[in-house]
Amino acid sequence: MLDLKLIRQEPDFIKEKLATRGVDPQDIDDLLGLDAKRRELIVKSETMKAQRNTVSDEISQLKRNKENADDKITEMRQVSTEIKDIDAQLDTLKEQVHDAAAHLPNIPNDNVPVGLTEDGSVEIRQWGEKPNLDFTPKAHYELGEDLGILDFEAGAKVSGSRYLYYLGMGARLERAVYNFFLDENTKAGFTEVLPPYIVNDDSMYGTGQFPKFKEDVYQLKDEAMTLIPTAEVPLVNYYRDEVIPEEKLPVWFTALTPAFRSEAGSAGRDTRGLIRLHQFNKVEMVKFCKPENSWDELEALTKHAESLLQKLGLAYHVITLTTSDMSFTAAMTHDLEVWFPEQNTYREISSCSNTTDFQARRAHIQYRDENGKLQYVHALNGSGLAVGRAVAAILENYQNADGSVTVPDVLVPYMGGVTKITK
């Protein structure tokens, strides 16, 4: 949520910055118009209430003096009716202002590349050697099916498209990957959390999924509850409506959870394989910190996510997303994209974002500064990492000419000593 005071004070700045995210400047004018009308009615209501209090005292005095107060009583009845009507208008306007503001994305940092599409993202760095395969590489889903470790047909039969079964060494590899991620995250100082997988509407609002992106999630019928699209939701909302003691900051959380996404709008994209599923495992990282530290925390978060890929020996690059391609809540996002030999391209495996005070305002997460004044924390999030995509990258990058897959060295202990997946 943006600071409404800032929108009032610097409307042209807000229009300019949000236009780079595809927001129509008229939306800002409409919001300010509603806000101005609401503030005008607040003044009118308070003035009339003050008048009513004054006249009520006069009526009491007249009655004490046994004088006629009928005219003033009639007048105040009319005033009370008008106040009731104004207050009803104010309730409606409050909801309209809130709804309009809730649909505005975060202000992009000045260093974010401007673009109304994903084209224009800026590469920051590359790492690792792409595998030099002397044979035609197979796609990860072909490898998984040939090895008997991924079964997409059974997933489609039981649940529908974009679901699957992991079998045998496939299930073990998935487990090895997320346990490795969790262990590395906790070694780095993150507190491991096992959160709820179903959350209420206030939680979805707090992290920015509601009200704008309801079509992207799965909701429980006849209940205001949602299957989490990412562990970011329960992790950020852990401190919703709370004041974090200053001495606790920064707070770092990590969690393994399933993620449930409807993938609305992705018809025809990545219909095969592990890249875009309705249900997948993800290890998430969330940070809360003081505002002056959040940009350093973003770089540290990104570097840590990179270290996971480095230890797996997977080539990747880091890009900064354009203003319109990053998430609704982000002020800046660094994407890690890992190399996929069969596709001969990089694919996203982690997004590390600084949401500044945007989520904290929505979720009312604050701390007291050294002067005892309440301030909003800055919240950051990043995948550490998307597990299914990591498995897919391992299958493709570590495949051998005979169809087997070598297990990365760091995962061998998690695989019970297995060094190669074969038929």
Residue 383, annotated as binding a ligand: yes
Give the Cα separation of 226 and 203 in Å (integer).
9
* Active-site option among 75, 82, 246, 348: 348
Residue 327, annotated as binding a ligand: no
User: In this structure, which amino acid lies at residue 117?
Assistant: T
Residue of 319, 378, 391, 308 lying closest to 348 (CA atoms): 319
User: In this structure, which amino acid lies at residue 361?
Assistant: R
117-122's contacts with Cβ under 8 Å and 24+ in sequence apart are 117/322, 117/324, 117/325, 118/321, 118/322, 118/324, 118/325, 119/322, 120/322, 121/319, 121/320, 121/321, 121/322, 121/325, 121/335, 122/319, 122/320
* Active-site option among 8, 38, 276, 404: 276
* Active-site option among 21, 162, 240, 389: 389
> SS3 breakdown of the chain: % helix, strand, coil, rounded to 5?
45, 20, 35
Give the Cα separation of 367 and 50 in Å (integer).
36
* Active-site option among 351, 353, 361, 362: 351
Residue 348, annotated as binding a ligand: yes
Residue 83, annotated as binding a ligand: no
Residue 421, annotated as binding a ligand: no
Is 368 catalytic? The answer is no
Residue 261, annotated as binding a ligand: yes
Is 389 catalytic? The answer is yes
Residue of 360, 334, 347 lying closest to 109 (CA atoms): 334
* Active-site option among 21, 162, 240, 261: 261
Residue 404, annotated as binding a ligand: no
Residue 188, annotated as binding a ligand: no
Q: How many CB atoms lie within 10 A of CB 192?
A: 13
User: In this structure, which amino acid lies at residue 353?
Assistant: S
Is 261 catalytic? The answer is yes
Contact in structure between 367 and 245 (CB atoms under 8 Å):
yes
Residue 230, annotated as binding a ligand: yes
Residue 350, annotated as binding a ligand: yes
Point out the annotated binding site: 230-232, 261-263, 284, 348-351, 383
Point out the annotated binding site for L-serine: 230-232, 284, 383
- Report, as residue numbers or ranges, the catalytic residues: 261, 276, 348, 351, 389
Point out the annotated binding site for ATP: 261-263, 348-351
